[in-house]
């Protein structure tokens, strides 16, 4: 993993991002029973109600996170994932700060 770390809104249906989502699915399925997994598929992640963020190290997709807005305007964090080799470097905190910025812009209200 090398290159400048960036976090930006991108489409989730890009091949390198799909691989991240597949890795997250495998991880979640291994940890939790089916009734506890509420995984959004690629089509659902492309919905306009979803803000999908991709973390890149240079051109390499290393993480992602999605924010799902419900009809009442509340937001739910979905699809937070960093590749294992990208963890423990503060990148997850940066991704969370980006989520907070979306709240501050009024796109997703913060839960109280």
The per-residue pLDDT string of the chain (112 residues; one tens digit each, 9 = 90 and over) reads 567 888 888 899 999 999 999 998 898 888 888 887 778 889 988 988 888 888 898 899 988 888 887 777 677 777 788 888 876 766 666 666 666 555 544 554 443 3
Instruction: Please state, in angstroms and rounded to a whole number, the distance separating the CA atoms of residues 102 and 77.
Output: 12
What is the per-residue pLDDT for 29?
86
Instruction: Please state, in angstroms and rounded to a whole number, the distance separating the CA atoms of residues 1 and 63.
Output: 12
Residue whose structure tokens are 């803000």: 51
Q: Which CATH architecture has domain 5-104?
A: 3-Layer(aba) Sandwich (3.40)
């Amino acid at each position: 993993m090398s290159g400048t770390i960036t976090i930006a809104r991108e489409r989730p249906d890009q091949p390198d991002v799909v691989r991240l989502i597949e890795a997250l699915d495998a991880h979640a399925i291994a940890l939790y029973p089916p009734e506890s997994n509420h995984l959004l598929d690629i089509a659902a992640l492309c919905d306009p109600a979803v803000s999908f963020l991709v973390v890149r190290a240079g051109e390499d997709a290393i993480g992602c996170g999605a924010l799902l807005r419900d009809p009442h305007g509340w937001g739910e964090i979905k699809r937070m994932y960093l590749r294992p080799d990208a963890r423990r470097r503060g990148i997850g905190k940066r991704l969370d700060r980006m989520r907070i910025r979306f709240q501050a812009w009024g796109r997703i209200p913060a839960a109280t």
